[in-house]
Structure 1
Amino acid sequence: MRKNSIIMIVLSIIIIGMIIPAGFSTNDNQVVLTYGETTKNNADYKNIVDSFFENQAHIDLKGVSSKIITASEVNKISSTITGKNYNSNQIFSSALVDLGDNENLKVTVDKSKITTITGDMYLSALKSAGITSGHVYVTSPVTATGESALAGIMNSYEVATDVEIPDTVKEAANNEIYTQAEIVKESNVSADDLSNLVDDVKETVKEENITDHQTIVNIINNTTINYNINLSNNDIENLADSIEQIQNVQGDINSYQTEVSDVMNSTNDTSETDFLDGLFNQ
C-alpha cells in the first residue's frame, strides 16, 4: 500500500509538470484572439485570418476568447501619437496571443500581409511595455502596415491575465511602433536594422537610467555609426523622444509586471493545490 502511494505521488508530480506551464495559469483565457473590426465584419476576411492562426498556432479556435478592436480604440492611441484618424473600414490587423506556448516572448508575423511592422518591432515594443512571455501571431486578410495590431495584442494580454496595462505604458509602446514605422516608410533604413538599433539604445538607456534628451540623442548617433545607418536629424529626435517616453514610465511598467506576476503566482498556487487535492481524494 505504501509503495502504491509513493508511485502515485511521483506520477502526480510528473503530471503537474506536464500540464501546468511555469508562470501561467491553467484558465481558459490562455489563448485570446483579437480581430480588427473590418476583418470581423467580413466573413471572407475572418476566414482568411482564422486559417492563418489555426495553421501557425495549431489551435482549434472554437471556444477561444475573442474581442473586436475598433477604429475608436485605435484612434484613442494614434491621436496622441501621429494624429491619424482611422475609419471603421480600415482596421484589418488581427492578433492571437497564446500564453501557454512558451515562457519566452515570441512573435510570428504574416509577412505576406503585414508590410511595415516586423516581428522584432512588435517584440521590442511589447518588451518596452513589460510583456516578456507568450507567443503572439499577427496577420491581416489584406495588406496592412500592422500598426493597429499592437492595440489588439495588448488588449489580449489584459484579457488573458486580467491585469490592465497602464495607459501611459500603452502610449509609450505604441509611440515606439509608430515612430519606427514612419522612419522605415520615409527612409532607406531596413526595419530589422532599425529595430536592432533601437533595442541597443533602449538597453543602454535603461541600464544607465538616462532621462536626459540630449544624452539619448548622443547615444543614438553613436549607435548609428556602429550599425552604419544614416538617419536624419528629425528621425533621431523622434527616436529619442520615443525612448525617453519609455524610460519615463519605467515605474508604471515595473508596477504592471509586479501585478501580473502576483496574479499568475496566486492562480498557479491555487490550481496546483486543487489538482493535488483531487488526486489524493480519489
Structure 2
Amino acid sequence: MRKSLIGIILLSIVIVGIALPAGFSAQADNKVITYGEATYNNAQYKSSVDNFFSQQANVDVGSINYKLITADEVNKIASTITHKTYNSNQILSSALVDLDEQGSIKVTVDKSKITTITADMYISALKSAGITHGHVYVTSPVSATGESALAGIMNSYEVVTDVEIPETVKEAANEEIYTEAEIIENDNVTADELSSLVDDVKETVQNENITDHATIVNIIYNYTVNNNINLTNSSIENLATSIGGVQAVQGDVESYTSQVTEFVGNNSGDFSLNGLFSRLGL
C-alpha cells in the first residue's frame, strides 16, 4: 500500500512537471521580491539590495519573481494617513517575502539602512493584517525609514497567495506603521518601548473587543504611566486612533485569513513538496 502511494505521488509529480511551463520553479513561486522604483531603476542600488537578499535568505534572486512599488502606490496609502507626497526618487525600501520557510512570521531588517521601522513593528503590522507566516527581509540601498516597505510586503503576499488583502486592512496596517514612525521621530521613546506598548495595548483591545476611542486612550495612558514612557497627548490620541482602526477591520482580517488558509495553513511550508512528503511520512 505504501509503495503504491509513493508511486501515485511520483506519477502525479511527473504529470505536474510536464504540465508546468518551462522555467517554472516551485521554490521561486513561493518567494517574491518587491523593489522600490528608485532602487530598481538604479543598477548600483539594485545590486546592493540583491546582495543583501542573497546573503540573508540564501537565495538566487535571479530566479525569483519581482514587482515594482511605485510612488503612486505609496502615495495612495499615504494620502489618507500622513498626507505626505513622495516622488519616484524616494521609493527605496525593498522586501523579499519567503513563504517556503516554516513557522510563525519572521522579519529580518537591514539595520544599517532601515533607520526607523524595526522587525517587531513590521511583525505587529503584518499580524494586524492577518499575516502570520513566512519570512520577510527588508532593506534599502541607502538610509530610509522603512515606512514604504510595508506596502511592498503586503503586495508580495498577494502575489504569492493570489488573494487580495482588503483595502481597509491595508490602510489600518499602514496607519499603524506610519503612526509609530511619527512618534519615534517626535517623542522621547525608543522603538522597542513603543513596539511593546503597541503589542500589549492591541492584545488588550482585541481580547476585550474594545472599540471606544476614549477607552483605548486610557489604556495607552495607563501603560505609559506604569512603564515610565513619555508620550505627548497628541501621540497617545494618534496611537489610539491607529489601534482602534486595526480593531475596526477585524472582520475583514478574518475574511482574508480564511481565504489564504489553503495556501499557508498552519505553517508556511505546508504547500511545498517537502511539506507534502513530510506529512505523508515519506
TM-score category (smaller protein): 0.7 to 0.9
SS at match of 1:142: coil
Deviations 1:90-116 (A, max 9, x none): 100000000011221000000000001
Query: Offset at 1:180?
Result: 0.3
- CA distance in 1 between counterparts of 2:52 and 2:7 reads 37
> Quick check: 1:29–1:159 contact (8 Å CA) kept in 2?
no
Matched letter for residue 173 of structure 1: A
Deviations 1:73-130 (A, max 9, x none): 0000001000010001110000000001122100000000000111111010000000
Alignment of 1:242 onto 2:226: no
- Equivalences for 1:25-44 in 2 at 5 Å? 28-44=28-44
- CA distance in 2 between counterparts of 1:39 and 1:234 reads 35
Matched letter for residue 183 of structure 1: I
Aligned to 1:165: 165
Query: Offset at 1:46?
Result: 0.2
Matched letter for residue 203 of structure 1: E
**TM-score by structure 2 length?**
0.86
Identify if the C-alpha distance between structure 1 residues 107 and 11 changes in structure 2 by more than 3 Å, giving closer, same or farther. farther
Query: Offset at 1:63?
Result: 1.8
Query: Offset at 1:134?
Result: 0.3
Alignment of 1:85 onto 2:101: no
Query: Offset at 1:61?
Result: 1.0
Deviations 1:166-190 (A, max 9, x none): 0000000000000000000011100
- CA distance in 2 between counterparts of 1:259 and 1:59 reads 28
Aligned to 1:190: 190
Deviations 1:5-26 (A, max 9, x none): 646768999xxxxxxxxxxxx5
> Quick check: 2:27–2:100 contact (8 Å CA) kept in 1?
no
Matched letter for residue 37 of structure 1: E
- CA distance in 1 between counterparts of 2:252 and 2:220 reads 24
- CA distance in 2 between counterparts of 1:92 and 1:162 reads 25
Structure 2 residue ranges without an equivalent (≥5): 10-25, 278-282
Query: Offset at 1:270?
Result: 9.1
SS at match of 2:147: coil
> Quick check: 1:93–1:148 contact (8 Å CA) kept in 2?
yes
- Equivalences for 1:1-282 in 2 at 5 Å? 6=2, 28-264=28-264
Q: How many residues are aligned here?
A: 256
- CA distance in 1 between counterparts of 2:232 and 2:59 reads 44
- CA distance in 2 between counterparts of 1:107 and 1:215 reads 31
Matched letter for residue 209 of structure 2: N
- CA distance in 1 between counterparts of 2:4 and 2:259 reads 35
- CA distance in 2 between counterparts of 1:210 and 1:240 reads 11
Matched letter for residue 80 of structure 2: T
Deviations 1:7-61 (A, max 9, x none): 6768999xxxxxxxxxxxx574211000000000000000000000000000111
Identify if the C-alpha distance between structure 1 residues 189 and 77 changes in structure 2 by more than 3 Å, giving closer, same or farther. same
- CA distance in 1 between counterparts of 2:195 and 2:270 reads 38
Matched letter for residue 84 of structure 1: K
Matched letter for residue 249 of structure 1: V
Query: Offset at 1:145?
Result: 0.5
- CA distance in 2 between counterparts of 1:241 and 1:208 reads 17
